[in-house]
Amino acid sequence: MIPRYQIVIFSILVLASLAMAGMLWHLRQKAHERLVAGADSAPTKAPEVAPAEKATLLVANDDDNSLLPQVHSLPLPADPGSRARAVLARLLDIYAAPNATHPVPGGAASVSQVFLLPVAGAANRSEPAKTNTVIADDSGAPIAGGPEPSHPEMAVVNLTGKFVAGHPSGLETETLTVLSICGTIHANLPQVTEVRFLVDGQQRPTLAGHADLTRTYLVGEISGPTSVGETSAVPTEVAHP
Partner 1 sequence: MPWIRPAAPLLFAAINLAALVVAVPSTAGQSTTPPATAPKPAPSSPPPQTPASPPAPAGQAPQAPLPPAAPVPPPRFVVVLDAAHGGDDLGGHLSSGQLEKNANLSLAVRLRSLLGARGISVVTTRESDQSVDPDRRAEIANHAQARACISLHTAETGSGVHVFVSSLSPAAPTRFAAWKTAQAAWVTRSLGLAGVLNAALLEAGTSVTLGRTPLPGVESMACPAVAIELAPERDSDHKITAEPDDPNYQAGIAQTLATALLEWKTQAARPDVARPDTSSSEGRQP
Based on the shown chain and the rule CB under 8 A, indicate whether residue 238 belongs to the binding site for partner 1: yes
Give whichever of 147 and 209 is closer to partner 1, judged by the CB atom. 209
| CB of 17 or CB of 203, closer to partner 1 | 203
List % helix, strand, coil for the chain (3-state, nearest 5).
35, 25, 35
Name the residue among 39, 54, 40, 46 with its Cα closest to residue 90: 54
Question: What's CA 95's distance to the chain center, in Å?
Answer: 16
Number of residues that bind partner 1 (CB under 8 A): 30
Give the range of 28-36, 39-47, 68-76, 226-234 binding partner 1 by CB under 8 A.
226-234
Under the criterion CB under 8 A, does residue 105 sit at the interface with partner 1? no
Helices (H) and strands (E) in the chain, counts: 5, 9
When asked if residue 101 is in the footprint of partner 1 (CB under 8 A), the reply is: no
Q: What is the spatial distance between Cα 183 and Cα 69, in angstroms, rounded to a whole number?
A: 9
Rounded to whole angstroms, the Cα distance separating 236 from 205 reads 18
What does the alpha-carbon distance between residue 190 and residue 184 come to, in Å, rounded to a whole number?
Answer: 10
Q: Which is nearer to partner 1, 86 or 193 (CB)?
A: 193
Distances (CA, A) of 138 to 201, 206, 222, 227: 36, 32, 15, 11
Closer residue to partner 1, CB minimum distance, 73 or 227: 227
| Residue 138 binding partner 1, by CB under 8 A | no
Q: 195 and 215 in contact (C-beta within 8 Å)?
A: no
Nearest distance, CB of residue 156 and partner 1, angstroms: 18
Query: In the complex, what is the shortest distance from the CB of residue 75 to partner 1, in angstroms, rounded to a whole number?
Result: 32
Question: Which one among 4, 34, 45, 240 touches partner 1, defined by CB under 8 A?
Answer: 240
Name which of residues 43 to 82 contact partner 1 (CB under 8 A): 62-65
Task: Tell me if 237 contacts partner 1 by CB under 8 A.
Answer: yes
| Separation between Cα atoms, residue 196 and residue 92, nearest integer Å | 17
3-state secondary structure of 191: coil
Chosen residue from 22, 75, 142, 209 binding partner 1 by CB under 8 A: 209
Taking CB under 8 A as the binding criterion, the range among 13-21, 25-33, 41-49, 205-213 that sits at the site for partner 1 is 205-213
Q: From residue 115, how far is each of 71, 157, 200, 223 by CA, in Å?
A: 23, 7, 13, 23
Letters for 164-193 (x = contact with partner 1 by CB under 8 A, - = none) are ----xxxxxx-x------------------
Report the interface residues with partner 1, using CB under 8 A: 62-65, 103, 168-173, 175, 208-212, 215, 228-238, 240
